[in-house]
A = this chain, B = another copy of it.
Amino acid sequence: MQAKEDPALHSRRSLTLRFDIPTSKTKEFWEALKQGRFVTTRCAKCGHVSFPPQSDCPKCMGGEFSWTDLGPDAKVVTFTHVQITPASFVDNDPYIIAICEFAGGPKVLAWLEGVDLPKVKPGMPVKVAARASAEGNPYYVFVPA
């Protein structure tokens, strides 16, 4: 270990990055979510269902697709409880993150709310629910079924 008192240039310039991420290709997902529906894309050519939704098929590269309902029922595949959070989440209490699988369909990662850690088990039935951030951004969480 080095001495903490090693000389350093404490930079007087900060670099702050905050991105505007295009959502034209997934706007139906976010709009359905605002109405409480959880949908994703199904390839018109090969039938592959993707999550996250994408307008180009990763299996056959086809560009034709339809939106299909996924929710709300799913079950927990795996999970964790995050106690040391990133800088941009310092105002959050520790949160449970779970990967949950929809019946016969894709898996989705999100917060699992409304349950204490010791009660969470793989296989636990959950349902997906819509939320909005304080800024009005839509997102989704899982809650016990």
Contacts and interface: CB of A to CB of B under 8 A. Distances in A.
A83 interface: no
Interface string A2-29: 0000111111111111111111100100
Per DSSP, chain A at the interface is mixed
Interface residues of A, number: 27
B19 A6 contact: no
B16 A20 contact: no
A3 to B, nearest CB: 10
B18 A17 contact: no
A14 B102 CA distance: 32
A21 to B, nearest CB: 4
A133 interface: yes
B88 A13 contact: yes
A16 B19 contact: no
Contacts of A93: none
A35 interface: no
Nearest to A15: B17
A24 B5 CA distance: 10
Nearest to A6: B24
Contacts of A135: 10, 12
A139 to B, nearest CB: 10
